[in-house]
Structure 1
Amino acid sequence: MFGTLRTLVVGANARAEERVRDTYAIELIEQKIREAQVSLGAAKATLASLIQRHRAEDRQLKSVETRIADLTKRAEAALKDKNEELAMQAADAIAQLENELEMRRKTVDRLDTRILQLRQSVETGHRRIVDLKQGAITAKAVRHEQSIQSRLNTTLTAQSSVAEAEELIAQVLGKDDPFEQAEILSDIEHDLSHDTLTDRMAAQGYGSATKITGTDVLQRLKAKK
């Protein structure tokens, strides 16, 4: 029982959500585009930061390479003068710089890879946002057409109602007059009962009158004088 009710509630909520999403589809699309633009902006900022760090590391890398080259020449000159102690100090410094150089090269390589990946992501995100904006324009046009069609359907429905009302009026007006019909039926009944035939014959002098006429009343009034 409770499982069935839960299923019905979940289904009703899902349908309600679908109706809301359909009603506010354009607003939701625009909101998603804004969110995507914010995310894209953050990705661009991160990319710019990585590129800036890459440039700094590259400058440091070149600086270390320059120092190694300089110390190497000085160490060779010290060895040439048989100053092994000073040459050894230079060799130690060169070794440290070479270790630093290796670490910086790895850092630059990692930054290269990260920059390439992020740049591709930014480009893909940018294209998707462009597509979303174009899709939003199309969706707005379709929704506008749907609105026009809805108003047109309402108008057509109203016209149909008007036509139906006109038809009903014509139907009512086209019916026979019930009062006239009653008079006709009464005459038919009189004819069938021969009452009218007796009246017609009496009016022509055949037999006694069946009705008092105005002439009869006038004669009776003259007789009283």
Structure 2
Amino acid sequence: MFNVILTLIRGRAYDTEQAFIDRNAMPLLAQQIRDAAGAIQSARRAVAIAVAQNEQENSQHAAIVGRIADLETRAVAALQKGNDELARQAAEAIAELEAERDSSEKAQAQFATTIAKLKATVRSSEARLQGLQRGERLARATEQTQKLNAVCNDGSGLANLDEAEETLARLRAYQDRCEIATSALKEMDAANRPAIIIEKLANAGFGAPLGPSADDVLARLRERMNSAA
């Protein structure tokens, strides 16, 4: 019985742990991606350092080869002059330099292998990181869509949409009524103004004109002309 209880406790603890991970999967994924990106950046720096060290080794190797060639030339000249002692010293130096050259060549080979492996690892890791980043963006978009669907599927959310649409319809109807009322008031004010009514009657020929007409002006000018004659 005690073992059963322990097993049940472990089972519930596992379920709780998994539920916690599921609830926090998005921030967990984001942090894991950031950690992976940092590791890849460190690997890139390691590749750059290895390349720089290999270039230094290449330069040292070239210098050693040049010194060997120079010593060989000088040793041959010493032998030709019969100076075997100097020639032997040159040969000993050449032997030491050749050992350094061989060691440098082995180091270059190791660097080349290491650099190739690091570059391959970085390329593969970068491709996987890009895939994870695309997956994260898709997961976030899916999460937002699911939240929106949850809101739309919620009765209160739909009720809010309905109420908002009704409020908008009432607002538009009220604004239309205000515009119609304003236009009607303007027409009524214009129609009730005495000056406007008098002007309309005068223009229609009812009663005396409100101002001189062209005929009146011509008659006055003819009268002035006849008086002057």
Q: TM-score of the superposition, structure 1-length normalised?
A: 0.67
Q: Which moved more, 1:1-10 or 1:118-127?
A: 1-10
The within-5 A match list for 1:41-190 is 41-155=41-155
The Cα shift of 1:145 comes to: 1.6
Instruction: Tell me, in whole angstroms, the C-alpha distance in 2 between the residues paired with 1:155 and 1:134.
Output: 34
- Matched with 1:14 is 14
The residue type paired with residue 53 of structure 1 is Q
The residue type paired with residue 91 of structure 1 is A
Q: Of the two, which has the highest radius of gyration?
A: 1
Between the two proteins, the alignment pairs up a number of residues equal to: 159
The one-character-per-residue Cα deviations of 1:173-198 (angstroms, maximum 9, x if unpaired) are xxxxxxxxxxxxxxxxxxxxxxxxxx
Instruction: Tell me, in whole angstroms, the C-alpha distance in 1 between the residues paired with 2:12 and 2:147.
Output: 26
The list of structure 1 runs, each at least 4 consecutive aligned residues, that deviate by more than 6 angstroms after superposition, is 156-159
Instruction: Tell me, in whole angstroms, the C-alpha distance in 1 between the residues paired with 2:74 and 2:88.
Output: 11
Is the 2:152–2:158 contact (alpha carbons within 8 Å) kept by the matching residues of 1?
A: no
Is the 2:30–2:136 contact (alpha carbons within 8 Å) kept by the matching residues of 1?
A: yes
Instruction: Tell me, in whole angstroms, the C-alpha distance in 2 between the residues paired with 1:15 and 1:153.
Output: 28
Q: TM-score of the superposition, structure 2-length normalised?
A: 0.66
Instruction: Tell me, in whole angstroms, the C-alpha distance in 2 between the residues paired with 1:16 and 1:158.
Output: 33
The within-5 A match list for 1:21-40 is 21-40=21-40
The residue type paired with residue 111 of structure 1 is F
Q: Percent identity?
A: 33
The Cα shift of 1:153 comes to: 2.8
Is the 2:151–2:157 contact (alpha carbons within 8 Å) kept by the matching residues of 1?
A: no
The Cα shift of 1:157 comes to: 9.9
The residue type paired with residue 106 of structure 1 is K
Aligned alpha-carbon RMSD (Å): 1.6
Instruction: Tell me, in whole angstroms, the C-alpha distance in 2 between the residues paired with 1:147 and 1:5.
Output: 38
Instruction: Tell me, in whole angstroms, the C-alpha distance in 1 between the residues paired with 2:158 and 2:70.
Output: 94
The one-character-per-residue Cα deviations of 1:40-92 (angstroms, maximum 9, x if unpaired) are 12111211111111111111000000000000100111111111111111000
- Matched with 2:213 is none
Instruction: Tell me, in whole angstroms, the C-alpha distance in 1 between the residues paired with 2:116 and 2:58.
Output: 16
Instruction: Tell me, in whole angstroms, the C-alpha distance in 2 between the residues paired with 1:155 and 1:19.
Output: 27
For structure 1, the 5+ residue unaligned runs are: 160-225
The residue type paired with residue 109 of structure 2 is D
Instruction: Tell me, in whole angstroms, the C-alpha distance in 2 between the residues paired with 1:158 and 1:147.
Output: 14
Instruction: Tell me, in whole angstroms, the C-alpha distance in 2 between the residues paired with 1:53 and 1:150.
Output: 58
The Cα shift of 1:149 comes to: 2.1
The residue type paired with residue 97 of structure 2 is L
